[in-house]
Amino acid sequence: MQKDYIIIGQGLAGSLLAYELLQQGKSIHIFDNHHEGAASSIAAGIINPITGRRFAKSWRIDQFLPFAKEYYQKIEQRFNINIFHDRAVLRFLHGNKDINDWYGRSSWEGFGEYMQEYENMEELADHFHLPFGIGVIKPSAQIDIPLLIKTFKEYFQEKNVISDQKIDYQLLKQNDIKSAFNGIDADKIIFCEGYQAQFNPAFDAIPFEPAKGEVLFVKIPNLNFKDLLKNKIMIAPLGNDLYWTGSNYEWNATHDRPTESFKTDFIKKLQKTLKLPFEVIYHKAAIRPSVKDRRPVLGSHPRNPKIAIFNGLGTKGASLGPYWAKHLANHLLNNTPLEPEVNLSRFYV
């Protein structure tokens, strides 16, 4: 059986690219082993324009946020689902330095449109241990990535274009494509493997820096909080009194399983933030697909044009995924040049 494209991995990157190619009339087949340690399975889907201790502006957020919003809303209409949620991030400020930095940075060109002052702290006093002040980051957003992945999987299953299978790299190395993919051949194979790409010998020149993260799903009755809270930890609403909270960065993780030490530490941090009682419902872990220069990596392999990659979305996949999926699809279908900053070739100079 001949296909235009084989896609390896049905996380956020693979799902968006597969959908884009199908929309453009191309034939595809997806192979995915539904690895539980994949970051997409537990992602909160947060799009936060102002991040970090120094209130840095996210890379090209002025472009990526409106693009992502329009893209996700079209998917909502197509599948009759609700995945895009406008949110504000309430950023707790700690001490005079934080306050001075916040107001100083908000006066910079291009920052003030996202950074606002929170004027109703008394509304939060019953629920949170309040700091010196709160800054509001808006517009921000939250994408229901697990629902998006589930919806796409059902869509791909209906079209009979997805298989549950782990790929044998040795067969690919021997160029035994049909054996590797159960009799399916393709003009190009696109690897969207997330952090597992670090084990793919075809891309050993890419400096992957996968980061393990752990999250708690907690039930907080009577909180009724609809925005995102950032107080060293992030708290994000999931509905029905359930909240996502996390996560850490473990750069040299030896496994992708949850740890009791994280759970104990994060419960303490939640207790320092929340005045309300809470219950831990789930504790999960996953590994993010990050690259050393913190930029996505996409394009065809310079030494083997039959294979390509779409990876490195890292912690900002919700905002980066739609734009770069379309960018790669346009490159594959129309031979439009890839932006050098994300081109795979930057690692093969």
> Can you give the CATH number for the domain in which 72 is found?
3.30.9.10
Q: What is the DSSP letter of 62?
A: H
The pLDDT value given to residue 122: 77
Average pLDDT taken over every residue of the chain: 91
Q: What is the pLDDT of residue 267?
A: 95
- Please tell me the predicted confidence (pLDDT) of residue 315: 87
User: Which residues on neighbouring strands pair with residue 343, listed in sequence order?
Assistant: 298
Together in a domain, 57 and 203 = no
Which DSSP state fits 204?
Answer: T
Mean pLDDT lowest among 60-64, 152-156, 302-306: 302-306
Query: Are 64 and 200 in a shared domain?
Result: no
> Taking every pair of C-alpha atoms in the chain, what is the biggest distance, in angstroms?
66
Write phi, then psi, for 339 (nearest 5 degrees). Answer: -65, 130
Residues 203 and 308 grouped into a single domain: yes
Q: 283: alpha, beta or left, given left = phi > 0 and alpha = psi -120 to 50?
A: beta
Tell me, yes or no, whether 280 and 315 share the same domain: no
Q: What is the CATH number of the domain that holds 188?
A: 3.50.50.60
The residues, any chain, with a CB within 8 Å of residue 289's CB and separated by 6 or more, are 13, 39, 193, 194, 195, 197, 208, 210, 311, 312, 313, 314
Which of 266, 288, 310 is the last residue in one of the domains?
Answer: 288
Domain that holds residue 217: 51-143+209-288
Same domain, yes or no: 134 and 228? yes
Which of 328 and 213 is assigned the larger pLDDT?
Answer: 328
Instruction: Say if residue 30 is in the same domain as residue 120.
Output: no
Share of the chain above pLDDT 70, in %: 96
Q: How many CB atoms lie within 10 A of CB 347?
A: 16
What's the mean pLDDT in 119-134?
A: 82
Q: Mutual orientation of helices 145-158 and 12-23 as an angle, nearest 10°?
A: 50
Does 55 lie in the same domain as 28?
no
**Pair 184, 304 in one domain:** yes
- Domain boundary residue among 288, 309, 330? 288
Model confidence pLDDT, tens digit, residues 230-256 = 988 899 999 999 999 987 777 766 678
Q: Which residues lie closer than 8 Å to 59 by C-beta, 6 or more apart? A: 295, 316
Asked if residue 131 and residue 172 are part of one domain, the reply reads: no
**pLDDT value at residue 74:** 98
330 and 195 both lie in a single domain: yes
Instruction: Give pLDDT, residue 131.
Output: 73
pTM for the model: 0.94
Question: What domain count does the chain have?
Answer: 2
The answer to whether residues 124 and 71 belong to one domain is: yes
Is residue 104 over pLDDT 60? yes
Grouping H, G, I as helix, E, B as strand and the rest as coil, residue 43 is coil
DSSP conformation class of 339: P
The sign one gets for the Cα dihedral 178, 39, 144, 102 is negative
221 φψ region: left (φ > 0), alpha (ψ -120 to 50), beta (else) = beta
Average pLDDT for 62-71: 98
Tell me, yes or no, whether 55 and 183 share the same domain. Answer: no
